[in-house]
Chains A and B, each alone.
Chain A
Amino acid sequence: MATQQLPPSGAKTPAKLVATRGRAEAKEARSGRLFVAPFLIMFTVVFLIPMIVAIRQSFFTKKAAGGGLFGGGEAVDVFVGLENYAAVVTDTRFWAGIGRVVGYAAFQIPVMILMALALALVLDSFLTRHVTIYRLGFFLPYAVPGIVAAMVWMYMYTPEISPIVKGLSALGLDVNFMGENMILLSMANMTTWTFTGYNMLIFLAALQAIPHDLYEAARLDGATGFQVTTKIKVPMVRGAALLTVLLSIIGTIQLFNEPTVMATVNPWMGNDYTPMMMAYNTMLGQISPGGDGPASAISIVMALIAGGLAVVYALLQRKKD
């Protein structure tokens, strides 16, 4: 039996077919590249190049070059190898900052994720009408730029002018939101307010992707609404939960806006309250004269830590599954 089928008459010969397909593929590839080009260009300009520059910078420190009291009015970038990295990892201020951030994350992330999940479940349930309004309402805080949100909250925390502090004090509760023991909680509240809606959207999208046949089947089997939620909905959004927690870890490790604004009226917090503040203020020359080199080293160490934490979390999560 002939294994090869002859092409029907009138059809293109294989050679012709390949040629046409080749042209079509080339055309497709060309337009594909065109579509990808803006991304690639922006990715290179705002991401890749700065990253390479930062890595290069992290091996240099500005040092006086010309001699004399003012270095002869000359400073050059001197290659110092891993000195900047050594300075970061041996700096107690850096680790104190990490400690604050980790403590903050351990408390804030679970609270926020659980709230986001709860809100998403409520919105997803058939009980709620006008989902769009609620969805928009919960998401709205995220639309407020982080620095503006931090400033609004700072005014609400300032004892002398805050209606909240006054209200609580009228109830006999004296709360100092700016106190050294309270300030991490106060900032956790800001972050939770901003990002709960954002995480809720991710959960909501995952919930709405669940096939409704499952609910129907469960109901036929006699499952209650509560059982549907705990036995079907929650397990089905595990992927979304992983995503939100990962994003939160990466976001929290970069804690910057909230403490920076709070530090403007609480100088005891200092320039190095969180590692990202330390990186930024080092870059501005407010912490060490070395400038960009030491600042880049801090940023890169932070990137490694954030990446490490994310990997650890993902692995743990996979193991659990």
Chain B
Amino acid sequence: MRHNKAGLLTRSIGLAAVGVLALSACSGGGTPEKAPEKETGTPTESAAPQEPVNISYMHRLPDGDGMTKISELADQWNKENPNIQVTATKFDGASAEMLKKLETDINANVGTCLAQLGYAEVPEMFAKGLAVDVSEFADQYKSNFEGTSELMRVGDAVVGLPQDTGPLVYYYNKAEFEALGLTVPTTTDEFIEQAKKSAEAGKYIVAFQPDEVPNWLSGQAAAAGSSWYNPVNDEWVVTVTDEGSERAAAFWQELLDSKATAVHERWGESFGKALNDGEVIGTIGAAWEAPLLADNMAGTANEGQWAVAQLPDFGAGALTGPDGGSGVAVLKGCEFPEQAMEFNNWLNTQVDALATQGLVVATSVGVPSTPEAISAFYGGQDVLAELGEANKRLSPNFSYMPYFSTIHDPMKKAASAAADGTGKVAEIFTAAQEQSIKSLKDAGLPVAE
């Protein structure tokens, strides 16, 4: 549920809560920790403290009904590890608000030790000096996170351990596809062909989602082979409008021009309604969409009809891109990073518990069994195994620049224009390119033009 995935209601309530948060931030709300005093002992001494150490941890996982609550996991850990006591706090609100709270708390010396950060937010939090390098404690856990440990890497630093991933996959209504004589597309050409066929029958096998483009479309560009932010000679070389992006743009432009795609805001009411009414019978979405879609369509004729497939080939082979996902990072001011990482590793390898939160776990120690409710919605499919396969296909070339969140707004505006025909899809990437360079410059980071 990484970035902004809390849904409209929670998001708006989060907004309302901002004033309260601002106050609680001032008064030292959140989880108070001892004021960070410099350790006088050597690192080996602090490794085996006599008194139990206290680790605070803030997350924004859903903690819904029927899920294993994060605080329950913390209780379990606390029982088993009397020397390392963890306090878990759930943050209700949008990710950007949580980042601000973390920043304010850290500056006031009352920050938490561990916090959930989206992968697109990690470079930013590191550049701001809020997430710290813990590579000396992280290396020993690397084998538990094969292929995903890089997600929490920033240059030479490692700031924590990954928790879940959001590879893009394709969700579709199997029964509708059979009824309309459609096949599940494996390439973008096939996709366009099937989309046109389906549109003739008044149904759409995909929806363009302007409010979701920043991570959704960048993920598709990644699947098409893009690499937007490249360190060359210690400078950022920004290539948002590269070949991969062009391929992704051409794909959507064709779908929009031929009216073969529906257009819906992902987080408005209309998308859910279109799904329920059977107007939209397929969607390109991140792995974390699996439980959300099931939830959106609970109790309708759609139940048991849907299925998950790999993202079609966007022109770069069996590759997919990231759309969200997050890890648990160690933050500045954390007194006991080593112990924090010990808990971090344990937490992120609790595969079954994390799966109940709707997460596609990043750890390689085991594949969780698909929760029954999810499997029932997807016609008995082993959904998590399919999503695990998508994990393996994640593009290794795509990474985010610091301050990636500043390009969201220009991308969304351009996407809205593309959706209503007043602009082109390619302009979404042009807007992202311009804002990327501007933001890096404004932040005082080296950028090549």
| A residues adjacent to B (C-beta < 8 A) | 46, 61-65, 68-71, 73-75, 78, 145, 147-148, 150-151, 155, 158-161, 257, 260-261, 264-268, 270-272, 280-281, 283-291
Minimum CB–CB distance for A225 against chain B, Å: 45
Q: A69-B234, A69-B446, A160-B269 are in contact. Are A265 and B210 (CB under 8 A)?
A: no
Minimum CB–CB distance for A177 against chain B, Å: 13
**B270 (CB) vs chain A CBs: closest residue:** A160
Whether the Cβ atoms of B409 and A271 lie closer than 8 Å is: yes
Per CB-CB distance, the 10 closest pairs between chain A and chain B, nearest first, are: A268-B416, A265-B268, A63-B444, A289-B443, A267-B412, A64-B444, A147-B16, A289-B403, A271-B409, A284-B96
B57 within 8 A of A: no
Residues of chain B within 8 A of A147, CB atoms compared: 12-13, 15-16
How many angstroms from the CA of A290 to the CA of B417 in the assembled complex? 28
Minimum CB–CB distance for B158 against chain A, Å: 12
Classify the interface of chain B: helix, strand, loop or mixed: helix
Would you list 12 pairs from A and B whose C-beta atoms are within 8 A, ordered by A residue? A63-B444, A64-B127, A64-B443, A71-B443, A75-B128, A145-B16, A147-B12, A147-B15, A147-B16, A151-B12, A264-B211, A267-B412
Interface residue from B23, B128, B210, B235 paired with A62 (Cβ < 8 Å): B128
| B residues adjacent to A (C-beta < 8 A) | 8-9, 11-13, 15-16, 18, 23, 96-97, 99-100, 103, 123-124, 126-129, 131-133, 154-155, 157, 210-211, 231, 234-236, 265, 267-270, 273-274, 402-403, 405-406, 408-409, 412-413, 415-417, 439, 442-446
Minimum CB–CB distance for B22 against chain A, Å: 9
Minimum CB–CB distance for B428 against chain A, Å: 11
Interface residue from B16, B128, B155, B265 paired with A265 (Cβ < 8 Å): B265
How many angstroms from the CA of A267 to the CA of B236 in the assembled complex? 29
Interface residue from B96, B97, B99, B211 paired with A267 (Cβ < 8 Å): B211
Whether the Cβ atoms of A70 and B100 lie closer than 8 Å is: no
Whether the Cβ atoms of B99 and A285 lie closer than 8 Å is: yes
Whether the Cβ atoms of A264 and B155 lie closer than 8 Å is: no
Interface residue from A70, A73, A267, A271 paired with B265 (Cβ < 8 Å): A267
Q: A73-B157, A284-B96, A285-B403 are in contact. Are A267 and B270 (CB under 8 A)?
A: no
Minimum CB–CB distance for B225 against chain A, Å: 22
Interface residue from A71, A74, A268, A285 paired with B406 (Cβ < 8 Å): A285
Whether the Cβ atoms of B127 and A283 lie closer than 8 Å is: no
How many angstroms from the CA of A268 to the CA of B157 in the assembled complex? 37
Minimum CB–CB distance for A80 against chain B, Å: 11
Interface residue from B100, B402, B444 paired with A283 (Cβ < 8 Å): B100
Whether the Cβ atoms of B416 and A62 lie closer than 8 Å is: no
Whether the Cβ atoms of A284 and B210 lie closer than 8 Å is: no
How many angstroms from the CA of A145 to the CA of B17 in the assembled complex? 12
How many angstroms from the CA of A68 to the CA of B123 in the assembled complex? 13
Residues of chain A within 8 A of B236, CB atoms compared: 69
Whether the Cβ atoms of B442 and A290 lie closer than 8 Å is: yes
How many angstroms from the CA of A155 to the CA of B270 in the assembled complex? 11
Residues of chain A within 8 A of B409, CB atoms compared: 270-272, 281, 286-287
Most B-side CB within 10 Å, residue of A65, A71, A150, A158 = A71
Most B-side CB within 10 Å, residue of A145, A148, A267 = A267
Residues of chain B within 8 A of A150, CB atoms compared: 12
Whether the Cβ atoms of B445 and A70 lie closer than 8 Å is: yes
How many angstroms from the CA of A257 to the CA of B18 in the assembled complex? 12
Most B-side CB within 10 Å, residue of A73, A148, A270, A290 = A73
How many angstroms from the CA of A70 to the CA of B96 in the assembled complex? 20
Interface residue from B18, B268, B439, B446 paired with A289 (Cβ < 8 Å): B439
Residues of chain A within 8 A of B133, CB atoms compared: 73
Whether the Cβ atoms of A270 and B413 lie closer than 8 Å is: yes
Whether the Cβ atoms of B8 and A264 lie closer than 8 Å is: yes
Residues of chain B within 8 A of A145, CB atoms compared: 16
Whether the Cβ atoms of B16 and A70 lie closer than 8 Å is: no
How many angstroms from the CA of A10 to the CA of B154 in the assembled complex? 90
Whether the Cβ atoms of B443 and A285 lie closer than 8 Å is: no
Whether the Cβ atoms of B445 and A270 lie closer than 8 Å is: no
Interface residue from A158, A287, A290 paired with B270 (Cβ < 8 Å): A158
How many angstroms from the CA of A272 to the CA of B144 in the assembled complex? 43
Whether the Cβ atoms of B211 and A286 lie closer than 8 Å is: no
How many angstroms from the CA of A160 to the CA of B130 in the assembled complex? 43
Residues of chain B within 8 A of A73, CB atoms compared: 126-127, 129, 131-133, 154, 157
How many angstroms from the CA of A267 to the CA of B413 in the assembled complex? 6
Whether the Cβ atoms of B127 and A70 lie closer than 8 Å is: yes
**B441 (CB) vs chain A CBs: closest residue:** A289
Q: A70-B123, A71-B445 are in contact. Are A289 and B406 (CB under 8 A)?
A: yes
How many angstroms from the CA of A68 to the CA of B405 in the assembled complex? 20
Whether the Cβ atoms of A288 and B231 lie closer than 8 Å is: no
How many angstroms from the CA of A154 to the CA of B133 in the assembled complex? 44
Interface residue from A71, A74, A288 paired with B442 (Cβ < 8 Å): A288
Residues of chain B within 8 A of A260, CB atoms compared: 12, 15
Residues of chain B within 8 A of A64, CB atoms compared: 127, 443-445
Residues of chain A within 8 A of B408, CB atoms compared: 271, 286
Residues of chain B within 8 A of A271, CB atoms compared: 408-409
How many angstroms from the CA of A194 to the CA of B14 in the assembled complex? 21
Whether the Cβ atoms of A160 and B210 lie closer than 8 Å is: no
Minimum CB–CB distance for B226 against chain A, Å: 19
How many angstroms from the CA of A261 to the CA of B132 in the assembled complex? 35
Residues of chain A within 8 A of B15, CB atoms compared: 147, 257, 260-261
Q: A73-B127, A265-B211, A284-B97 are in contact. Are A155 and B269 (CB under 8 A)?
A: yes
Whether the Cβ atoms of B268 and A158 lie closer than 8 Å is: yes
How many angstroms from the CA of A145 to the CA of B268 in the assembled complex? 21
How many angstroms from the CA of A265 to the CA of B127 in the assembled complex? 31
**A285 (CB) vs chain B CBs: closest residue:** B405
Residues of chain B within 8 A of A46, CB atoms compared: 23
**A271 (CB) vs chain B CBs: closest residue:** B409
How many angstroms from the CA of A261 to the CA of B11 in the assembled complex? 9
**B94 (CB) vs chain A CBs: closest residue:** A284
Interface residue from A61, A71, A148, A268 paired with B413 (Cβ < 8 Å): A268
Minimum CB–CB distance for B273 against chain A, Å: 5
